[in-house]
Structure formats: structure tokens, C-alpha cells
Structure 1
Amino acid sequence: MNKSLSLACAIAAATLLGACSQEQPPAQALRPAHVAEIRYDNARESRSYVGTVQSRHQVDQAFRVGGKVAQRRVDVGQRVIAGEVLAVLDDSDYRLAEEAARQQWAAAVEQARQAASDHQRLAALKLDGSVSAADDERAQTNAQTAKATAEAEARKLELARNRLKYTVLRASRSGVVTAVNLEVGQVVAEGQPVLSIADPGQPEIVVDVPEDRLAAFQQASFQASLASEPGERFAAALRELSPQASAQTRTYRARLNPQDKRSLPLGATATLFAERELEGAAMAAVPASALTQSGGQPAMWIAHPIAGEQAGSVELVEVAVLGYRNEQVLVSGVPAGALVVTAGVQKMAPGLKVALPAPQQNLNHSQQQAAR
């Protein structure tokens, strides 16, 4: 019996030593998760539009007659004043036309004088019955016709002189030359635009608004920035919105003025930010990467913290998507303060435990404006 007891003790001791010598399996590491805290703010929608800076007043200059360009006196970017000579056409033909019109007018004047003199003589002879009443009436008619012809030739002479003046193109307003489409020796047609002059003192931001955003655009408040200074924003006010869509792009052209009357470089690229309050419940802005689906409906993974641990279990919750803003999605239906998983949502599963870092809080609208 003593031998059996000793053998049993030896076997138990060996079993205990063997169990102690085996390595314990490591605890399974928690999957790290990026989360953001849900914070509701006033419902706002923000859209951006890319446009250009243009002058409110821009004039396309053209000759009122056609001809060959003899002189070009301005270049792009040059400032001009009203009445300044911009270009000159070869006026040889117009001088000849003016001289011919003057000669025809002179001849018509002489004929009118002669017809008037004949009528006066016949009128005197009519008193003593030397001529008939018909001859007198005929002389009177010839005198009136000659006078009207002289007046018509005078108008033709005036027209020829005006066309001679039109060979000199003058600036219709003061401003900056923004385009030049003629060279010396080029033949231009009557009314063909050859120069553009813009007033740099009244710049505007011009953007094209899609048809589906037109109603929201009209209710928005605006800020703008230039591509050369993307970090500086300034307020803008809508001055004009086209009532008809463009036939080519199906967009509506909008023109906005800077409210601080600042000077903007013509032709610069500008970004217009349109923001408006949305009707209905408040919404939360979260990174778009947090959005997934559940049964064809938009959903998000919510991490529920576990008491006493820096971990939590995830749950898939359906949400209502109210809009998009840059790289964020605007949602509702999630309790305020909930932690939304913002990365790796395709690897989540219901009840999965994840390691929770310090939550990344969403900025409300006022904080976003300050951060900009």
C-alpha cells in the first residue's frame, strides 16, 4: 500500500510539473478603431463653386466701317481713357467717297439755285400773261425737286464724312484693355469685335450654377477666396442671377460683388462658398468613411465603451443621410455623444470588441469657421 501511495504521489507531481511547464496561450489583441463623437449642430449645407473674376462693365470695341488696319496703338493690359485712339484703318477709299459726295452736293446746290432762279423769272412773266399757269407750276415743281435733291446730297456728304471719321477707333470708356484681336495689315469687317475694354474698379465673381442647385443657391449666404490666396475669405453678395439656363451647359450664370469693395485681379480664379440653413432636425457631420450599409439602407458602426476597459463592442445602427459637405456626410438618428467608427468599417462585425482611443470630436459650425 505504501508503494501504491508513493506511485500516485509521483504521478500527481509529474502531472503538476508538466502543466506548469506548458506555455499559456496569449490573450487575443483587440482590433484598434478610429472613432468620432457625434455632436449635433444647426443643420447647414455648404457648396463650393469655381468661377472667375470679371469686370461688371466690359465693352467689345469694333470699327463702324470695314477696311485694312493701318495702325494699332494699344496692347493687352494697357490702361486707356475715354476718347483715346485705339486703332486706325486705311482711309484712302473713304476720303475719295467723301470728295465724290462733296462734288455731288455742290452740283445739286447749283441746280437748285438755277431752278429757283427760273421759277422767279416765270413768276414775273406770269403777271403780264407772257407764260401760262402750267409753265409756272412746272418751274415751281422743278425748283422744289432741285432743292430736295440738294438736301439729300448734303445728307450723303455728311454720311461720307462720318464714315471717314469711323476709320479711327476710339475708346468708348476708360479701363484696361483685356483682349486685342487685330494686327496691322489685317482686313476687318464692319462691326467685328477687335478690342475689349474692362473697368477694373468694379470686379465681380462669376460662377455657373447647376439647375438642381438653383433653389438652394438663392437662399444661401456667400463667401469667396482667390486661388492666389486660398486661406483668405471675404463676404460676397449676389447681384445678378440669370433667369434662363445656358443652351450649351444648362447652368445659370450668377454674378456676385465683394461686400468690402476690394480690388480683385481680372481673370483670376475664385472659389465661391455657398452656405444655407436647412429646415428640419439638427444633424451631425462625420467623416464619409464611416458610412456603410445595412440591408440596403445607410448605417454606421457604433462603439459602446466597456466599463473599466479602454475597449468597446460595436453595433450596426441605421442612420438617415441628410446631405454631404466636402469629405463629410450629414446624418441624424444616432444619439448625441455616441462613438462612430470612422475607419475599417468593412472589417467590423456585430459584438466585435475594439480598442478605443481618445475620441476625435467633430467640430461644430462656428469652430469650423474659426479653423478655416
Structure 2
Amino acid sequence: MNRPLLAVLFGALTLSLAGCQKPVETKPEIRPVRTLTVSAKEAHSVGEVYSGEVKARHTVPMGFRIGGKLNSRPVNVGDSVKAGQVLASLDPGDVRLSADAARAQLESAKAQLAQAELDYSRAKDLLAQKFVSQAEVDKRQTLLTAARQQFEQARSQAQLAQNQSSYAQLLADVSGVVTATQAEPGAVVSAGQPVVLLAKDGEREAVIDVPEGKVKAWKVGQSVNVSLWANEQLNLTGTIREVAPAADALTRTYRVKVTLPANEQIKLGMTLQVNQQNASQPIPSISLPLTAVFGREQQQRVWLVSAEKEGTATVKSTPVKVLEMAGESAQVSGIQPGAVVVTAGAHLLREGQAVRVLATPAKEARHD
């Protein structure tokens, strides 16, 4: 038998043996995951949430009515002051000299007035005795009138100088809290220049900035929910007092001011969150661990687990909207109650991935 024929027979035998072998079976990869079951409780409605700051309804810049060198400023930022309390004082040397000069000028004008009255009286007596003419009497009367005017002017100047000497002390008009100091002792300040910013006692308000695309939903008189970061358990109801008619030139946002109810726990400068309720379109709000959420901005998703069969299940991703993040949890919407969400191992999964739910008891997701 020649060699070509042997090669053909050998190849046919090899193909026949290969066809008799069974194909190798590949088992699907099953990944272990931890899950969390969304509570079936009724979800509350939530709206847009914005962070803001607690500020006083009225903040007054306090300054001197006169200029001078700042001698002392006994108050600092954060100090509580009462009406009439000294906030700062100027060097009294110059104002004291001005008051002394005005007082001396007043005494001089008073003496000149007395002399003019005496001369006028004598002139009238001499006129009766025909020793002087009527023109001389008229002249003395004119000098008397001028002396009286000079006396009134000097008296007004003395009173003004006396008032200015009291202006050397800056007194609080109302009770409040010092929020800023804008001049230090030793500086020369001008009249009206702010030295201390004083937040008046009374109403407090939340100040937030709303994007121009959302500002139409904020109306004066509307009620909103307010919560303090320092005390999340304290939920307050505020009222929108003012919506800025024009956007900020830099941020292009609109300033919204919300009047807060009286509460001792509300301190100036505290950070808070303002939640605009939208009862007509409720959005289920669900709290999940941050590890359950993946994806980029505006494309966040979570893995949902299908019903288990023989200990295994598959996953499918679904988009969610992140409403708020705090600590290690995220407040999201877009998940229905009863869904099973993957909370650990989300970054290792793919669509349709087979998973094995670990036996660790899972907590139910909390609705806020």
C-alpha cells in the first residue's frame, strides 16, 4: 500500500475518533452576593433638597457717626450683647478739644450779646435826652440783632460738639450677636465705616441657592420642610419669605430665604437642608448603602435579584435617581417596595449574571 493511501486512511480514522468524544461541559460562573430587601411600607413623598445656612433676619453694620482712631473694641465674634452695651470706642482727645472750643466760643458769644444789649439800652436813654440821633439807636439795634444770632449759632455748635463727644462710643441699638468685626484697635476709621456686624435677636431664616431651572417651583408663602445637620431628628416647617428676582452674577442661582420657627436649637451659622414637598407627584425615597449604587453621574444604577431557583438567581440592572447622600448611605428613588437589591459585590456583576445569595440575614431598606 502506498504512502498517500495510508495518510488518507489515518486522517479518516482520526476524525472518526474525534467525533465519538463527548463535548466538555462548562458550568456557568456563580458569584456570591449580599442583598437587601426593600421594605413594603408606603413611601413618603420627597421633593428637591437644598443645603443652606441659618442666618439672622436682620444684620446691622454698626459704625461711628464721626471719624477717629479706634481706641478699643471690647466685643468679639460670637459675643451676645444687650441694647446700650459699648461695642467700641474712639480716642476721645480730639472730640474733647472740639467740645471745649465750642464751649469757649459760646461763652464769648454770650458776653458779646450782653454788651450789645447794654449799648442798645443806653442809646435809647440818650435818644430820649436828645444826646444821640435816631441813626445811632438803629445802629445799636442792628448790632444787638447780630449778637443774638451769633449767640444762637455758638450755642448750636456747642450742642453739636457735645453730641459728638458722646459719639466717641459705639453703643448697640438692639440686643443681638456679633457676627463679624471689621476694624481692629489702632485703626483710623471714617464716619459710617462698619466696625461690627450685629445680628439682631428674633427671627432666624434659612438661606439657600436654587438653580434657575428649579426656581419657578419656589413661591413666597409656601411651606417647606427643614432639618438640621446637627440634629437630624428635629424636623421643622418653614415658610418661604423671599425669592430673589434676579440670579447671582457668578453662580447663576437664585437666593431663597425661608423663615424658621422659634427654636432654641437653631443657632446662627448652622447647616441645614430644605426639602420642598411635592405631594401631587410622590417619589418613593429609599435608603440604600453606597455600595449598592454604581455608575456615573446621571447614570446611577443598582442590581436587582430575580427569584431564586435551587439556590441560584440572576441579576438585572435598573436605573435609579440619587436624591441625597449622607455618610455611608444614599437616598434613592426608582425602586419598588419588595425588590431585592445587591448591596455587596455589585462591581463584579454583569447583566444576567448568575448569583448565589449569601445566607446572612438582610435588613430591610428604610423609607424616609
TM-score range, shorter chain: 0.5 to 0.7
Contact persistence 2:223–2:237 (CA under 8 A): no
Counterpart of 2:323? 325
Identity fraction in percent: 29
Question: CA 1:160/1:42 → structure 2, altered by over 3 Å: closer, same or farther?
Answer: same
CA RMSD of aligned residues (A): 4.7
**Which structure 2 residues correspond to residues 274-285 of structure 1 after superposition, within 5 A?**
274-277=275-278, 279=280
Counterpart of 1:368, as a letter, is H
Please give the alpha-carbon distance, in whole angstroms, between the structure 1 residues aligned to 2:85 and 2:303. 70
Aligned-pair CA distance for 1:329 = 6.6
Match of 2:25 in 1: 25
1:115 aligns with 2:116: yes
CA displacement at 1:158 relative to structure 2? 0.8
TM-score by length of structure 1 reads: 0.66
- 2:253 matched residue in structure 1: 251
- Mapped contact 1:38–1:284 kept (Cα < 8 A): no
- Measured at CA, do residues 362 and 45 of structure 1 come closer, stay the same or move farther in structure 2, by a change above 3 Å? farther
1:220, distance to aligned residue in structure 2 (A): 5.5
How many pairs are equivalent?
330
Amino acid at match of 1:58: T
CA distance in 1: counterparts of 2:341 and 2:250, whole angstroms: 44
Mean CA deviation greater in 26-35 or 248-257: 26-35
Using a 3 Å threshold, how does the CA distance of structure 1 residues 276 and 73 change in structure 2: closer, same or farther? closer
Matched, 1:222 2:225: yes
Task: Name the CA distance, whole Å, in 1 between partners of 2:32 and 2:333.
Answer: 25
Q: Which stretches in structure 2 are left out of the alignment for 5+ residues? A: 1-15, 325-329
The answer to whether the 8 Å contact 2:323/2:331 transfers is yes
Match of 1:6 in 2: none
Distance 1:167 1:259, change over 3 A: closer
Is residue 222 of structure 2 the alignment partner of residue 184 of structure 1? no
Match of 1:267 in 2: 269
Secondary structure of the 1:195 match is strand
Q: CA deviation at 1:147?
A: 0.7
* Residues 74-113 of structure 1 aligned to structure 2 (within 5 Å): 74-113=75-114
Change (3 A) 1:203 1:306: closer
Residue 88 of structure 2: SS of its match in structure 1?
strand
Question: Using a 3 Å threshold, how does the CA distance of structure 1 residues 50 and 190 change in structure 2: closer, same or farther?
Answer: same
Q: Which stretch of the first structure deviates more once superposed, 98-107 or 232-241?
A: 232-241
Distance 1:207 1:337, change over 3 A: closer
Contact in 1 for aligned 2:293/2:302 (Cα 8 Å) = no
Q: Does 1:167 align with 2:168?
A: yes
SS at 2:197 equivalent: strand
Secondary structure (helix, strand or coil) at the match of 1:139 reads helix
Secondary structure of 1:173's counterpart equals coil
Question: Which one-letter code corresponds to 1:72 in the other structure?
Answer: R
Q: Secondary structure at the match of 2:78?
A: coil
Instruction: Give 1:157 shift.
Output: 0.7
Normalising to structure 2: TM-score of the pair? 0.67
**Which amino acid in structure 1 is aligned with residue 241 of structure 2?**
E
Provide Cα deviations, 1:237-270, integer angstroms capped at 9, x if missing partner. 12532443344444333333443623323323x1
Structure 1 stretches of 5 or more lacking a match?
Answer: 1-14, 293-297
Residue 140 of structure 1: aligned partner: 141
